[in-house]
């Protein structure tokens, strides 16, 4: 077996804002395995500034991985426990290599095109007019769940935008989620959560910055809106630490981003531990290309979950790879008759 890697820069169609800053490009890396006449492709979805494995020598670790591919998947996963994005790339590359179709890793009704995954429509930060335009487009496109990034513009303006949705659509018509990406200060968060609660918000992701376990625990206990941990899970690797986090904070939800938390094995560990603590979960992408998004979608479908997932990000880029993935009527679908165009 031979392994190689390649860097790829995804370009956003439109600069996309969060409380952490504005995104114009997204770096990612691909692992390509070759054995006899078969090929396997996996994406190492490194997220600069966010991933626990965002280190200067990241490429050196990829080189080491390729040189030691003969060690096999399990040994490599154990060795690379501090590099969740590479773990994800390895898992998917090996699954791809061992599949009849390198892009159908987990055959199901989803990959047959007979079932779809409900997803949320994502509203990026920007000017009030830009955000209003996005909301209008998402509702017209058939989304029944909308997630709005908040925390970068004036909070009153954000409340007004959410109110404008609620004036037209009840919580039975449109589910509203918000994602603060840690933008609120611990001292002001609870007050803001009470204001948001008036608008029948389904949940808020990461209201305050990660690492403030006691403050987050207090919010989870007192918040009128269910809280979903997102960035909080990044860098929490051992089972012992995961249990400690869940039992200390007691979140209502956790967000699973396989590229950031150790691939499917790491995500599966969080699922089983969260269920024991009565915490629910859903899955979102971490702005991977369609290659990584496809793998995450197929894994997500196998969880047989009713929640709207955060998997509608494939259309954000000008230079993504043509694929069978299609966002339609508020769902992610797989058009099995459409071919992949994966050219690096």
Q: Which residues are catalytic?
A: 149, 257
Q: 54 to each of 1, 38, 260, how far by Cα in Å? A: 28, 31, 10
DSSP state letter for 193: H
What does DSSP say about strands 331-334 and 325-328: parallel, antiparallel, or unpaired? antiparallel
> CA–CA separation, 181 vs 193, rounded Å?
14
State the CB neighbour count (10 A cutoff) for residue 217.
17
Using alpha carbons only, what angle is made at residue 107 by residues 104 and 111, rounded to the nearest 5 degrees? 70
Q: Residue 40 and residue 57: Cα distance in Å, rounded?
A: 24
Helix (H, G, I), strand (E, B) or coil at 8: strand
The DSSP bridge pattern shows strands 331-334 and 117-118 to be antiparallel
CA 63, CA 60: separation in Å to the nearest integer?
5
Rounded distance between C-alpha atoms, residue 189 and residue 155, angstroms: 11
Query: What are φ and ψ of residue 82, in 5° steps?
Result: -90, 5
Distance CA 308, CA 226 (A): 15
Question: Among 294, 295, 341, 287, which Cα is nearest to 316's?
Answer: 287
Question: Alpha helices, DSSP H only, in 68-112?
Answer: 73-79, 84-97, 109-112
């Amino acid at each position: 077996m031979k392994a190689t890697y390649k860097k790829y820069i995804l370009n956003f169609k439109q600069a996309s804002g969060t409380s952490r800053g504005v995104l114009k490009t997204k770096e990612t890396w691909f692992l390509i395995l070759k054995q006899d006449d078969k090929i396997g492709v996996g994406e190492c979805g490194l997220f600069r500034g966010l991933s626990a494995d965002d280190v200067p020598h990241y490429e050196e670790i990829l080189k080491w991985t390729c040189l030691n591919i003969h060690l096999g998947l399990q040994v490599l996963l154990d060795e690379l426990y501090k590099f969740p994005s590479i773990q994800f790339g390895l898992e998917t590359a090996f699954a791809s290599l061992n599949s009849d179709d390198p892009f159908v890793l987990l055959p199901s009704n989803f990959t047959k095109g007979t079932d779809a995954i409900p997803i949320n429509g994502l509203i990026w930060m920007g000017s009030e007019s830009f955000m209003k335009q996005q909301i209008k487009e998402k509702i017209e496109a058939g989304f029944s769940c909308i997630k709005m990034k908040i925390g970068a513009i004036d909070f009153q303006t954000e409340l007004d935008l959410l109110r404008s949705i609620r004036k037209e659509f009840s919580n039975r018509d449109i589910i509203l989620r918000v994602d603060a990406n840690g933008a609120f200060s611990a001292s002001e968060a609870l007050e803001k959560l009470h204001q948001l609660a008036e608008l029948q918000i389904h949940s808020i992701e990461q209201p305050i910055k990660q690492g403030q376990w006691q403050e987050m625990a207090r919010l989870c206990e007192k918040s009128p809106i269910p809280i979903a941990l997102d960035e909080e899970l990044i860098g929490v690797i051992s089972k012992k630490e995961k249990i400690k986090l869940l039992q200390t904070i007691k979140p209502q939800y956790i967000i699973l981003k396989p590229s950031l938390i150790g691939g499917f094995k790491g995500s599966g560990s969080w699922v089983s531990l969260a269920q024991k603590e009565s915490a629910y979960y859903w899955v979102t992408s971490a702005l991977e290309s369609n290659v990584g998004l496809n793998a995450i979608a197929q894994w997500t479908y196998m969880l047989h979950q009713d929640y709207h997932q955060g998997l509608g990000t494939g259309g954000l880029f000008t230079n993504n790879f043509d694929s069978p993935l299609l966002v339609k009527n508020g769902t992610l679908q797989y058009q099995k008759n459409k071919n992949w165009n994966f050219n690096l």
